[in-house]
Chains A and B, each alone.
Chain A
Amino acid sequence: MMRRFGGLFRFAGAVILAVAEVGTAHAGGRLHVVTTTQDLASIAMEIGGDRIAVETLAKGYQDPHFVDAKPSYLLKLRKADLFIQVGRELEVGWAPGLINNARNKHIQPGASGFLDASTNVNILEVGGRVGREQGDVHPLGNPHYWLNPENGIAMAANIRDALSRLAPTDASYFQERYTAFEGRLRAKIGEWKKSAAAMGLTGMKVVTYHRSWPYFAEAFGLEVVDYVEPRPGVPPAPRHVQELTAAMKAQRVGLLIVEPYFDPKLSQQIARNAGVPMLVLPPSVGAAPAATDYIRLFDTQLDLIRRALAGGKP
């Protein structure tokens, strides 16, 4: 019996080796960066330029709370010099085990190749209660902070520092690219805020499906008054739907925002009954075809909102 197992392992090993040999082409001398989300990958590319090779685990259209791991994730993590996560328990359900199993000591939590991009970011809802009734407790705060573009600057600075630590000789290169990115992003933030104000977003009351949008609301002056999903992962009760619909009418809610990985059916019905436009908004780079990088993500979002408010007219 043991001999048969040994044979199986050798066979498995031989096939795995043969396959893996084809799959990996080493990026000569470049730092290998692996990020959990495409938002992080986009910012990392802005800072790292041609000195790094970036790979992402979760695609933008996937719910980052739940990601089905593939063997390639382990291989990417295995050869990574730097691992970057959103943190605040966004990836707690899948990333820690993978990092552990990749057995790459450089990217274990606490090592120099492990970066939690939320450091120094102004995190909302930390350990506090939000919402109006029983409230929703996030011990480490709401993890969707990349949706305020101002936080993109802090994230870029974190990535610059981590890259400079790992490749000190390229530190001035990373600094240069950081300055250029910061300038571009700041100019864009000015533009976005202006166009958000022009389409009447300042002070507009909105309802969202999941609690993904407090940072986006913070950036563009929206006020999130309620959620379709009363608790994360709990389908809303009929009374909640009824009260929500009535409240949306009474409070003149301007927009109902839904993340792409939730079933929009119920939200559509609520929006129709309340006479409010509903919009599926991409929360991440890669969640919509036009959202190809961090800056285009906000371009895409604001464009979608403008169209939704104009009643579907371009």
Chain B
Amino acid sequence: MMDALSLLLWPLLACIAIAGIHAYLGFHVVERGVIFVDLALAQVAALGATIGFLLGYDLHDPMAGWLSMGAVVVGAALIALLKAEKRRIPQEAFIGIVYAVAAATAILIVDRTPEGAEHIKFMFVGNLLAASPEEVARLAALYLGIGIIHFVWRRPFFAISHGTTEGMSKGRVRLWDFLFYLTFGLVVTQSVAVAGVLLVFSYLIVPSVVGMLVADTAPARLAVGWAVGVLVSVAGMLASYKFDFPTGATVVATFGLALLLALGYRGAVRRA
């Protein structure tokens, strides 16, 4: 009966890898107040793949990958540039617009392609239980590489997220912002293809929100976020197995439960 365990091992490892990088990136995303930037960039990446479709490249063609990566570069630049207006207009408004326009443009393009939108939908659904060892290794390598970049240059990344950019020129802030959204976009598009939009959004936001609820310093918040991400992955996978629910949706619901527990904990601590 080691079978059952070994079958769920790779999906679980995929979840834990995703938790590792997303709990960290989520910290930045929540600090910057750009909650839906992952949806926007995933949609932009899908738009890139859709353009590939129009040019006759299949979703699995390497060219489609390059096109969606190119689209992410453009999307990251756009989001970094649009920040300039932040004082008057919240950045989240622009992010929402990028999402909607990218999604709508993809529909317009698909209308002119022979094959229709079904294949594009696969980019957002994800199929966690189908995560193969090769896929998990690829994700882990990418996350590790981007994690190292973020560790080495943690100062500018955190300075922007905390809003303490006094010593930096405007151009440099923009450059670091672009780099942040670029690395973020690369991570998110890969994660979404494996785990789906809903799950990736949860891995990004919930651990960091729970961290904020129960801890005060940045390192403590990050540690709590990672712990929550890993625990929820394990608990969600087990619940999905025990009750035979679709796995992605079960993990998302478990994240909701974790947040409720954190809220209860905070309430109890306040009263005490």
**Is A69 a contact of B111 with CB atoms below 8 Å?**
no
A310 at the interface (CB under 8 A from B): no
**B-facing residues in A1-59 (Cβ within 8 Å):** 5, 8, 11-13, 15-17, 19-21
Q: What are 22 A-B contacts with C-beta separation under 8 Å?
A: A11-B234, A13-B2, A17-B1, A17-B5, A19-B4, A21-B1, A66-B121, A70-B240, A70-B245, A71-B237, A71-B244, A71-B247, A78-B7, A93-B127, A97-B130, A98-B129, A101-B7, A103-B6, A231-B117, A233-B118, A234-B107, A234-B111
In the complex, what's the smallest C-beta–C-beta distance from B140 to chain A, in angstroms?
14
Q: In the complex, what residue of chain A is closest to B242 when comparing beta carbons?
A: A19
Q: Knowing A17-B1, A71-B7 touch, does A97 contact B116 (C-beta < 8 A)?
A: no
CA distance A235 to B121 in the complex (A): 14
| Interface size counted on chain A using CB atoms at 8 A | 44
Cα-based distance from A129 to B12 in the complex (angstroms): 43
Partner of B129, one of A74, A137, A232, A233: A74
Question: Smallest CB-CB separation from B4: which chain A residue?
Answer: A20
B8 touches A233 (CB 8 A): no
A-B contact count (CB 8 A): 133
Instruction: Please tell me if B246 contacts chain A, counting CB pairs below 8 Å.
Output: yes
A13 to B127, CA, bound (A): 22
A contact residues around B137 at 8 Å (CB): none
* A233 touching B247, Cβ below 8 Å: no
Tally of chain B residues near chain A (CB < 8 A): 45
What is the bound-complex CA distance between A10 and B6, given in angstroms? 12
B272 CB to closest chain A CB, in angstroms?
28
| Residue A179 lies at the interface, judged by CB distance under 8 Å to chain B | no
Q: Which residues of A contact B4 (CB under 8 A)?
A: 16-17, 19-20, 71, 75
A19, B6: Cβ atoms closer than 8 Å = no
Contact with B along A125-144 (1 / 0, CB 8 A): 00001000011110000000
B249 lies within 8 A of A68 (CB): yes
Q: Which of B112-157 contact A (CB under 8 A)?
A: 112-122, 125, 127-132
A262 at the interface (CB under 8 A from B): no
Asked if B71 lies at the interface with its beta carbon under 8 angstroms from chain A, I say no
Q: Is the CB of B12 within 8 A of A12?
A: yes
Q: B216-238: contact bitstring with A at CB < 8 Å (1 yes, 0 no)?
A: 00000000000000100010011
Pick the residue among A13, A19, A66 that contacts B125 (CB under 8 A): A66
Q: How far is the CA of A79 from the CA of B4 in the complex (A)?
A: 11
A75 to B8, CA, bound (A): 10
CB atoms of B107 and A235 under 8 A apart: yes
Known: A73-B129, A75-B3. A136 touches B115 (CB 8 A): yes
Using A12-B12, A75-B4, A93-B122 as known contacts, say yes or no to A231 and B111 having CB atoms under 8 A apart: yes
Smallest CB-CB A-B distances: 7 pairs: A97-B130, A233-B117, A232-B116, A68-B246, A231-B116, A20-B4, A69-B129
Residues of A close to B129: CB separation below 8 A: 69-71, 73-74, 97-98, 101
A69 touching B118 in the complex, CB below 8 Å, given contacts A13-B5, A20-B4, A101-B10:
no
Chain A residues with CB below 8 A from B238, complex form: 12, 15-16, 19
Chain B residues with Cβ below 8 Å from A135 are: 114
- A5 contact set on B, CB distance < 8 A: 230
Q: In whole angstroms, how far apart are the Cα atoms of A202 and B122 in the complex?
A: 38
Across-interface contacts of A12 in B (CB, < 8 A): 5, 8, 12, 234, 237-238
Q: Please name all residues of chain A whose beta carbon is closer than 8 Å to the beta carbon of B246 when the two chains form the complex.
A: 68-70
Inter-chain contact B111/A72, CB cutoff 8 Å: no
B 228-272 to A, binary, CB cutoff 8 A, 1 in contact else 0: 001000100110111011111100000000000000000000000
B158 to chain A, nearest CB (A): 23
Question: Max chain B CB contacts within 10 Å: which of A68, A96, A102?
Answer: A68
Q: How far is the CA of A100 from the CA of B122 in the complex (A)?
A: 18
Distance in Å: Cβ of B193 to nearest Cβ of chain A: 11
Partner of B1, one of A20, A72, A102: A20
